[in-house]
Amino acid sequence: MRIEGEQKYFTAKEAREVSDEINSGRMKEELNWIYDLINNARFEGEHSITFSNKTLMKATSEFIKSKGFKISHFSGTQWDPADDTTISW
């Protein structure tokens, strides 16, 4: 993504600001998606959700853990690979 009028030789601070803004948006999207899953599951009497083939941003995982949720990953076995993430409460 290129911003019109952006100078060609930007500073490290400017590069970080753009990266942080994009990551903040991604984190909000992930949190909205996860909390929708959690909300549906809790009203079905569940105590966890599991999803596959989606890696969460580190900041998203840390935020979820700070709210008291537990996150675990299961990568399967050599004969039966998986990429499952479970969030429990």
Whether residue 59 contacts residue 27, with contact meaning beta carbons closer than 8 Å, is answered with yes
Euclidean distance between CA atoms 82 and 73, whole angstroms: 9
Euclidean distance between CA atoms 73 and 55, whole angstroms: 10
Whether residue 75 contacts residue 81, with contact meaning beta carbons closer than 8 Å, is answered with yes
pLDDT of residue 78: 81
Tokens of 14: 């400017």
pLDDT in tens, 18-27: 899 999 999 9
pLDDT in tens, 29-71: 999 999 999 999 999 999 999 999 888 999 999 999 999 999 9
> In terms of pLDDT, which residue wins out, 8 or 83?
83
Whether residue 64 contacts residue 15, with contact meaning beta carbons closer than 8 Å, is answered with no
Give the pLDDT band of residue 8 (cuts 50, 70, 90): confident
Give the pLDDT band of residue 81 (cuts 50, 70, 90): confident
